[in-house]
Amino acid sequence: KAGVTQTPRYLIKTRGQQVTLSCSPISGHRSVSWYQQTPGQGLQFLFEYFSETQRNKGNFPGRFSGRQFSNSRSEMNVSTLELGDSALYLCASSLAGLAGLETQYFGPGTRLLVL
């Protein structure tokens, strides 16, 4: 069974630009969660999508948004990039999402550098 895939793996952008990251979950998984990981703040929850609906959201500004498609693939968008958005963006998939009790599986991440 293929794991969680994320594209692109690496990305360099400049301040003010926007970026779209993609996550394909494990086949059959309906939940995709997004996380930001930085050396200073550690791993922080961004939002979770389940069956094309955003179920919950962490404490991030409205510049961070996402969506999920009918095949459970998810995209995350960051508009008006700031230097502080440089981070590793991880997505994780699971069958029932954070409301369930089973584990979630992480993808390899997209490393974003904002110059």
Those residues with Cβ within 8 angstroms of residue 90's Cβ, 6 or more apart along the chain or in another chain: 6, 34, 35, 36, 37, 43, 106, 107, 109
- Closest approach of Cβ 16 to another protein, in Å? 29
The answer to the question of residue 105 lying near another protein (CB under 8 A) is yes
Closest residue by Cα to residue 87 from 35, 17, 12, 37: 37
Distances (CA, A) of 43 to 1, 27, 79: 26, 25, 20
The answer to the question of residue 106 lying near another protein (CB under 8 A) is yes
Q: Are 86 and 30 in contact (CB under 8 A)?
A: no
Between residues 15 and 72, which has the closer beta carbon with respect to another protein?
Answer: 72
Between residues 58 and 79, which has the closer beta carbon with respect to another protein?
Answer: 58
Within 54-83, which residues bind another protein (CB under 8 A)?
Answer: 55-56, 58
- Closest approach of Cβ 56 to another protein, in Å? 5
What residue ranges bind another protein (CB under 8 A)? 4, 33, 35, 42-45, 48, 55-56, 58, 90, 97-99, 101, 103-109
